[in-house]
């Protein structure tokens, strides 16, 4: 018997309950699938099929990619150039806006019912419309079918800034659920250290990262966040073929040719689940649509944070401190002043 084995045996013999406390296991599934472009009802129907499939395999948490409902506009140019505007681009935006959903609204109610029916917590990437401004949003649902709330992407990337609005600090939630503390950061806002720190500060344990980045470099970012935050990271990305997109002469794609599908791949997926200890539990899948599923041992969170707790014993608040503005920022605020009219029937002071 090795010295390590002898020490472990001795600890078990002398420490009450040592290693006897069972860990909580949560089964999580990522849905790696393409939007049905320009058809939100069919996109939601497709989502329902995947949710049911994940639930039948025992999933308690189901996570979808960025902008799954409404679609990630990969390759769309909307006729935009510096100092250039055109009718074709405006009409492309009209169709894209029509595919987005109002939150809350009837589509949100359908998703809530799917979560309730399948008894799963659900994180759904969606394009949200608030009037005529679009937001890239993650929607959260409980297994009882309750819409918990949303996170709006705080910083659209590159040309996204021409077509999406900016979220504010009022929608950076972490929900305390029976499965664990659940939250999300969308695509490249995961590269924002202060945003990540705000989630760590709220105690996030189940860190969802809906994304449109299917690069191999993205995998390194996800690994780093799992280790840095001491949390489970679930990165969900769409797998899309060229044929999944509507025909349009103005689209610009970077394609990968796939021998298996005999098709050009536009978004190659790469969905992955990583533990707080830096272990890849499932994925990455760069091959097809489907589910990426893993059992999460929540005990790994404490195991990881023995050595590194970024907002706990490994922080220096006397030197570094983060302030987060959680106020909702509105462009227009109406202030009404109520003036009570004097009652002539009452005696007046002279």
Catalytic residues: 66
Question: Is residue 265 within 8 Å of residue 93, measured between CB atoms?
Answer: no
Instruction: Single out the residue of 23, 27, 35, 7 nearest to residue 266, CA to CA.
Output: 35
In terms of Cβ atoms closer than 10 Å to its own Cβ (0-12, 13-18, 19+), residue 167 is buried
Q: For residue 231, how many C-alpha atoms fall within 13 Å in the half-sphere facing its CB?
A: 29
Neighbours of 236 (CB within 10 A): 31
Residues belonging to the chain: 350
**Distance separating alpha carbons of residues 163 and 28, to the nearest angstrom:** 32
DSSP states of 276-301: TTS-EEEEEE-S-SEEEEEEEETHHH
Q: What angle, 0 to 180 degrees and rounded to 10, lies between the N-to-C axes of helices 193-201 and 216-229? A: 40
Q: What are the phi and psi torsion angles at 141 (to 5°)? A: -135, 145
Token duo for residue 182: 């659940």
């Amino acid at each position: 018997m090795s010295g390590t084995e002898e020490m472990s045996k001795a600890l078990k013999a002398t420490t009450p309950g040592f290693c006897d406390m069972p860990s909580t296991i949560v089964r999580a599934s990522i849905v790696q699938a393409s939007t049905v472009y320009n058809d939100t009802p069919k996109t939601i129907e497709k989502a329902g099929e995947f949710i049911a499939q994940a639930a039948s395999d025992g999933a308690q948490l189901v996570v979808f990619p960025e902008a799954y409902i409404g679609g990630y506009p990969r390759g769309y140019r909307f006729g935009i150039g510096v100092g250039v505007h055109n009718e074709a681009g405006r009409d492309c935006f009209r169709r894209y806006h029509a595919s987005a959903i109002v939150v809350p609204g009837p589509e949100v109610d359908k998703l809530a019912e799917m979560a309730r029916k399948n008894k799963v917590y659900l994180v759904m990437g969606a394009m949200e419309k608030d009037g005529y401004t679009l937001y890239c949003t993650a929607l959260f649902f409980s297994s009882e079918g309750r819409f918990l709330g949303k996170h709006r992407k705080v910083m659209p990337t590159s040309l996204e800034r021409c077509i999406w609005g900016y979220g504010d600090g009022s929608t950076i939630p972490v929900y305390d659920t029976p499965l664990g503390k659940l939250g999300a950061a969308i695509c490249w806002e995961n590269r924002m250290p202060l945003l990540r720190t705000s989630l760590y500060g709220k105690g996030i344990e189940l860190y969802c990262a809906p994304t449109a980045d299917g690069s191999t470099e993205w995998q390194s970012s996800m690994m780093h966040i799992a280790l840095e935050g001491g949390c489970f990271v679930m990165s969900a990305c769409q797998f899309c073929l060229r044929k999944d997109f509507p025909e349009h002469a103005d689209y610009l794609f970077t394609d990968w040719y796939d021998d298996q599908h005999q098709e050009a791949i536009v978004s190659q997926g790469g969905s992955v689940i990583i533990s707080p200890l830096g272990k890849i539990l499932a994925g990455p899948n760069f091959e097809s649509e489907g589910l990426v599923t893993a059992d999460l041992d929540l005990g790994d969170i404490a195991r990881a944070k023995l050595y590194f707790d970024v907002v706990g014993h490994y922080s220096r608040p006397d030197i570094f401190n983060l302030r987060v503005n959680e106020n909702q920022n509105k462009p227009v605020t109406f202030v009404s002043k109520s003036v009570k009219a004097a009652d002539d029937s009452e005696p007046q002071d002279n």
